[in-house]
Amino acid sequence: MRISRLLLIIAAVALCVSCSDKKEKQEVIPLVKTQVVGDAASTLVHEFPGRVKASKDVGVSFKVAGTIQKILLKEGDSFRKGQVLAIMDPKDYQLQFNAAKAQYEQVKAQANRVINLYADSVVSADKYDQARYGLEQVTAKYEFAKNQLEDCKLVAPFDGFVNKRYFESGTTVAAGMPVLSIISGGVPEVEIEIPAKVLDMKSNFASFTAKFDYSEEPVALRLISISPKANSNQLYPIRLSIDSKDGKYPTPGMNTMVKVNFKSDNFEQYSIPSTALFSEAGDDRTYVWLISADNVVVRKREVIVSTLHTNGTADISLGLESGNVVITAGVHQLHEGQKVQVLKETSPTNVGSLL
């Protein structure tokens, strides 16, 4: 009997301790930082990484195969349209041209005699047709040989600069194999890639701006084209030209961030700290915690993020309203319906919260 009573007492004490621990745990109210959502902005902004590119960036090659005799320019050199960039050894093509030219002149002389005799009704129509067709064939062969000889010179298709040399003199290359990489001079372009959801809003594009190291102010960009076909990343390339007021332009290869601005009365977006955003395991949606104004209870709210900025803020296009109180710190330790204690802002006269 005494042992049974002792066991009952121990169990009762353990139960009281357990209840006390639970009560203490329930009484722990986490501190959180909050922010009141302000008025909605009427301009929607998306930000994308961009890269400066020359308006023309191509690899030029010989139309015929052979051995490179000389490359006339080095990397970084400028050139004008029509200037010879490289020369292929023309020896074999010169021989072919000489043979074709000799045959052409011979057949042409014979054909002219037959044509003149046919005009005097001396030869038959069959002889005339044979002479005419034979002259056409040998003329085509002659022109082909002439073109191949001319193609031994690699000519610049536009004004620009040599970006890279792929081969050196003395190298044998096939027809169509790029020998030089060249880029155009003049105004460069900026290329960005946008997802399908932004492409659907292209009719509401208002403006484009980019920030470069050489300018303290954002530089205006102008839309050139939007590719209707997605790339391997399921993004759509956009080409933008640079409107420079002072004549200064970035060089090809520079990286930048491009802001795409949309103007419409239908857009309402709110800016909040990106630390307020969270996702749950197995769920690709984005949420924030809201606080009930009366009893300070946490409520989860799904939101749509339009842009994540490098300054630590996020633009929310759906899910928030003006006046919502959003938790901005400690979001990963909360659960639905949990009570929280709002951390008061530090007074300007109480630096460090020492008082």
Q: How far apart are CA 4 and CA 1, in angstroms?
A: 5
Looking at residue 6, its pLDDT comes to 55
Give percent of the chain with pLDDT exceeding 90: 44
What domains can be seen in the chain, in order of their start residue?
29-42+268-342 (2.40.420.20), 46-56+185-263 (2.40.30.170), 57-183 (2.40.50.100)
Instruction: State the pLDDT confidence band at 226, using cuts at 50, 70 and 90.
Output: very high
Q: How far apart are CA 224 and CA 155, in angstroms?
A: 28
The answer to which of 1-5, 171-175, 208-212 has the lowest mean pLDDT is 1-5
262 by DSSP, 3-state: which?
strand
| pLDDT mean over 154-160 | 94
Instruction: State the pLDDT confidence band at 354, using cuts at 50, 70 and 90.
Output: very low
**The residue type at 245:** K
User: With contact defined as beta carbons under 8 Å apart, do 59 and 85 qualify?
Assistant: no
User: With contact defined as beta carbons under 8 Å apart, do 316 and 326 qualify?
Assistant: no
Per-residue pLDDT reduced to its tens digit, 242-284: 987 777 888 888 999 999 988 765 566 788 899 999 988 888 8
95 by DSSP, 3-state: which?
helix
Q: How far apart are CA 60 and CA 161, in angstroms?
A: 12
Per-residue pLDDT reduced to its tens digit, 10-67: 655 555 555 555 544 555 778 888 888 876 665 577 889 999 999 899 999 999 999 9
Find the angle CA(90)-CA(94)-CA(95) to the nearest 5 degrees. 125
**What is the residue-averaged pLDDT of the chain?**
85
Q: Is the pTM of this model over 0.75?
A: no
Sign of CA dihedral 14, 15, 20, 23: positive
CA-based max dimension of the chain: 149
